[in-house]
Chains A and B, each alone.
Chain A
Amino acid sequence: MTEKIRIIVNEDKCYLCGGCAGVCPSLAIKVSSSKWEFFQDKCISCRICVTACPVGALEAEVVEGKT
């Protein structure tokens, strides 16, 4: 089974810079001026957002198909 992940934000670390939304290939993250949002149905589990965040505010939690 292919792995499925959930992206979790550490709100205390996040600067709402929008970078993760910008690098996400599938618009699975939305960053407004006051909140960070994740849309599970759109996520393709690539983890690009986790690596790109300049401060390490994102984590991936495996929800299905642990490898």
Chain B
Amino acid sequence: MKYDVVVVGAGIAGPIVARNVAKEGHSVLLIDKKPAIGAPKQCAEGINIGVFEKHNIPYDKRFINREIYGARLYSPSGYTLEMRYSRVSGVILERKVFDKMLAFYAARAGADVLPRTEATDVIREDGKIIGIKAKKEGEPIEIRADILVAADGVESTIARKAGINTYAPPHEFDSAYEYEMLIEGFDPDLIHLWFGNNVAPRGYVWVFPKDEDRANVGVGINSDNPMTAKYYLDKWLKENNIPFKKILEVNVGVIPVGGFLKELVKNNVLVVGDAARQVNPMHGGGMAEAMEAGAIASKWIVEALKEENFELLKNYTTEWWEKDGKRLERVLRVRKVVEHLTDEDLDVFIQTLSGIDAEKIAGGRYSEVIKTLLKHPKVLMSPRRIALLKELL
């Protein structure tokens, strides 16, 4: 088998690359080790509404569980901050359908798609990577390709075998555990997030509604925590008297939230999405980031193939850092500050923020938000809080 491009991983990033490159007439193979693309899911399925238009994805009710109008944040002592909009701000997807449809769009654009096909290694010839070794339904196969795209998620085995060091220390990952379950008593038009060092160290507990009485209920905590994510979620459900005997799914995963690869390309190999740790470090969402990276990577793959100049692939690194990397580095700085907040800080900040225009917060006008926080008496009395906030300005 020989292709212009082989893409390993049919999550979010992989199919976007495969679709965009195949659309331009190049031969592309997209593989995934899962027998059914998209299943099992490892996701809370929340995504911003803007991605559909931006990445030319149909707004198809088959993979949209619910439209969301905002968010409610809960502090450790129960202060809340609500951001509710008159229009839809995001959706809760059905990822099992969404991922499969993304692969379908890639196939329809001309790419070949093979599930239950696991890349096991790269093939090198004279020091150059000329393809991958894979197992298709257990049978070893070799796939030759001019360009290899590692979209293999957090494991990033193929990226690493291709010599791209995607490794990060455990503190830079979150461990996540989630039930899709029946749950009542939460406004199903909003996503809900609970913060607190005993609730979810470094992270949060989430309720992402998929129905009036069904939601993804999960937790993310620092991966180097001595207790498991499951421990924290079960504890939270018990403490809040939420019955958990009507569980439809259990989802488990690790999320890279600690920084981004400097080099996203090595010769003819590109790394995209979770494999490149392209995740929003603040909330752990990585679908929009994977799409954005996939779009930039595919643009330069198409250019490189057209010009027959693989040096052009390096522009993916440059453009990604220019467009997304710089912004995400700033978000990472915020995350690192938030990590040091005590429960009392969280109470004070959420209490104060509930008086601030929601648009300012959601619109990312953080300096204005921080300036307002800095005026609060409980902040003014604490040199530590002032120092933490000033780090963000």
Contacts and interface: CB of A to CB of B under 8 A. Distances in A.
B330 to A, nearest CB: 25
A39 B254 CA distance: 21
A54 B224 contact: no
A53 B226 CA distance: 10
Contacts of A43: none
Contacts of B42: 17
A25 B157 CA distance: 11
Given A15-B252, A19-B252, A33-B35, A51 B157 contact: no
Contacts of B225: 51
A31 B190 CA distance: 35
Describe B's contact surface by its main secondary structure: mixed
Contacts, number: 79
Contact of A33 (B116, B154, B170, B223): B116
Interface in B222-259: 223-226, 228-231, 250-254, 256
Interface residues of A, number: 21
Interface in A1-52: 15, 17-23, 25, 27, 30-33, 48, 51-52
Contacts of B206: none
Contact of A25 (B33, B167, B226, B251): B167
A53 B156 contact: no
Nearest to B232: A54
B154 A18 contact: yes
B115 to A, nearest CB: 9
A64 to B, nearest CB: 23
